């Protein structure tokens, strides 16, 4: 992965999920102006189950790992548990995410 600000390679030879995770962490820490203020970046530890809205009537369960504040809104970085449990995550607008209650998580895990 190349850091365009310093014009140097920060990491090489990462594949798949590891590369996606590393890119997400860099997106969390830096924006177009350099280091992102702590007030605009949040880790979720441990990750929290969320429901992601795909369409007005379709939802999927995901794990929320971090939030980031961008000029156009807040985004959550999620890994998809149903469609791609081993794949890399993706940034999703906060408006498309809903935190799941503990009993909803238990019901999902029982299925």
The gap between the terminal CA atoms of the chain, to the nearest Å, is 38
DSSP state, residue 4: T
Q: What is the pLDDT of residue 66?
A: 92
77, 90 Cβ separation under 8 angstroms: yes
Q: What is the pLDDT of residue 3?
A: 57
SS3 at position 11:
coil
Residue 88's φ and ψ, nearest 5 degrees, are -70, 165
Q: Which residues of the chain have pLDDT under 70?
A: 1-19, 82-88, 107-111
pTM of the model: 0.75
CA dist 56 → 27, 53, 60, 67 (Å): 28, 7, 12, 23
Q: What is the pLDDT of residues 90-111, one digit of tens each?
A: 899 999 999 998 888 776 665 5
Of residues 30, 18, 35, 28, the one with CA closest to residue 77: 28
DSSP state, residue 36: P
């Amino acid at each position: 992965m190349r850091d365009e600000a310093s014009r140097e390679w920060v990491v090489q030879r990462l594949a798949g999920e590891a590369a996606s995770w590393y890119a997400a962490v860099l997106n969390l820490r830096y924006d177009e102006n350099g280091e992102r203020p702590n007030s605009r970046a949040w880790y979720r530890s441990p990750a929290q189950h969320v429901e992601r809205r795909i369409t007005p009537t379709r939802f999927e369960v995901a794990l929320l790992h971090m939030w980031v504040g961008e000029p156009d809104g807040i985004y959550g970085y999620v890994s998809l548990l149903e469609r791609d449990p081993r794949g890399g995550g993706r940034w999703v607008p906060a408006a498309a995410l809903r935190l799941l209650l503990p009993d909803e998580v238990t019901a999902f895990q029982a299925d």
